[in-house]
Amino acid sequence: SIFKQTLQVVGIVTFSAALMVSVAEAAPAKRSVVKKTQAVQTVSKKVISSRKSARFVTKSPRKSVVIVVAPPKPSFGQLAGLHSVHDPLDLKSSVALVIDQDTQEVLFSKNDNAVVPIASLTKLMTGMIVSDARLPMDETITITQDDVDTEKGSRSRLRVGSSLTRGELLHLALMSSENRAAHALGRTYPGGLPVFVGLMNAKARMLGMKDTRYVEPTGLSSLNQSSAHDLATLVNAAHSDPMLRELSTSTGYQVAVGRQTLQYNNTNRLVKNPEWEIGLQKTGYISEAGQCLVMQTKIAGRKLIMVFLDSAGK
């Protein structure tokens, strides 16, 4: 029995990890205390983690605590059974599409018409709307409380009151998927957020993206949804914009915020790999969407558009 020693109790927890090698975004775990006795002055905790489990050892003369780490919520694709569809590449993504950008030949497809949440892939459309408007990129924008994520509670190094230029915010939104940056871009658009979101949906319709819907500019809402075919159309259109190509494939960027200089890196580690020639990319993650990635790249002399959605692993 684990209670042989009155000074020690061991709680065993299990959790699921969803990782894609090119994605650095993550969602915070939820913890709840399921058993608690008298409070004490000192508690020492040792965490032993592995790929599928973690152990919390709590020592105290008067307290016994068992902590449970809740597993991530299943994605829409998992709930819909999309992961039960097998493919010859044994992808961890339940939705995938690879096409030749020039000929539109489909080289690989998997559940490519399924409509699922797209997480921060949303920011590609956000960038297109800002770029199309030809707004001054040197205009200063201040982060406000309205830009704080109340949907998922995600963190940001851009504190309320921080001021950056529109160009800097766009760079951070596309390269490192900065949520407050993306939201501030939509909030400060002429006419405000409702006009901005309306333009996102109008642009999608104009491009022929019939399966796509946007409700906000960051991708934190699971109501931002699309299909692999629609996203391939979006990548093709965004790739025609030199600014979006440059900012989305930037490997790193520094911004001055007050007295601090903040270093941001690209969420897609493949942009630093010399074996990859990437012309445009965007990553995304929320629990409802799984790990997501879109890219325009060149392989074996062919320009390809790749869409991978709802990945449950590398």
Catalytically annotated residues: 120, 123, 177
Name the E strands within 22-148: 31-36, 44-49, 53-59, 65-69, 93-100, 106-110, 116-117, 140-142
Q: Tell me the β-bridge partners of 291.
A: 285, 311
- Alpha-carbon separation of residue 247 from 25, 62, 64, 124, 169 (angstroms): 18, 55, 51, 11, 11
Q: How far apart are CA 14 and CA 49, in angstroms?
A: 10
Q: Is 18 in contact with 312 (CB distance < 8 Å)?
A: yes
Residue with tokens 């650095």: 24
CA distances from residue 112 to 84, 115, 296, 306 in whole angstroms, order as listed: 14, 8, 17, 11
